[in-house]
């Protein structure tokens, strides 16, 4: 039996994987894949209870592509007070272009 890794199917089919934090004291959301189209609505639904001034962190290291709707969603989360972790060229460029908050201690 062959086991397929998640990344293979996600990147081929253009989906977004959202890992929701289990610990309310350490609200880290991990996004992987493509933040586009209907997946933007899913992200907003998952984060619907976030209030302005929230201390949540979004790891967007494994986000491969963000469309205009995805950019607006990230800007909205930034407006609410979220910070963003990135360590790759695409994510750094995205964070700089959208003026997203850098996570404390993030070197890039």
Q: Model confidence over 81-100: pLDDT tens digits?
A: 999 999 899 999 999 999 99
Q: How many domains does the chain have?
A: 1
pTM to 2 decimal places: 0.81
Q: Is residue 15 part of a domain?
A: no
Q: Is residue 17 part of a domain?
A: no
Q: Is residue 1 part of a domain?
A: no
CATH code of the domain in which 58 resides: 3.30.750
Residue 105: per-residue pLDDT: 65
Residue 27: per-residue pLDDT: 83
Q: Is residue 6 part of a domain?
A: no
Q: What's the domain range around 87?
A: 29-45+52-108
- Exposed e or buried b per residue across 37-68, where buried means at least 16 C-beta atoms within 10 angstroms of its C-beta: eebbeebeeebeebeeeeebbbbbebbbebee
Q: Is residue 14 part of a domain?
A: no
Is the pLDDT at 8 greater than 60? The verdict is no
Torsion angles phi and psi, residue 61, rounded to 5: -55, -40
Residue 20: per-residue pLDDT: 86
Q: Is residue 22 part of a domain?
A: no
C-alpha of 51 from chain center = 17
Q: Is residue 24 part of a domain?
A: no
Q: Is residue 56 part of a domain?
A: yes
């Amino acid at each position: 039996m062959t086991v397929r890794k998640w990344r293979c199917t996600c990147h081929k089919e253009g989906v977004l994987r959202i890992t929701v934090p289990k610990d309310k004291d350490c609200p880290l959301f991990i996004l992987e894949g493509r933040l586009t189209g209907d997946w933007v609505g899913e992200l907003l639904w998952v984060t619907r209870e976030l209030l302005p001034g929230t201390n949540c962190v979004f790891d967007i290291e494994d986000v491969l592509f963000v469309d205009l709707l995805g950019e607006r969603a990230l800007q909205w989360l930034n407006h609410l007070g979220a910070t963003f972790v990135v360590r790759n060229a695409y994510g750094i460029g995205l964070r700089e272009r959208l003026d997203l908050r850098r996570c404390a201690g993030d070197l890039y």
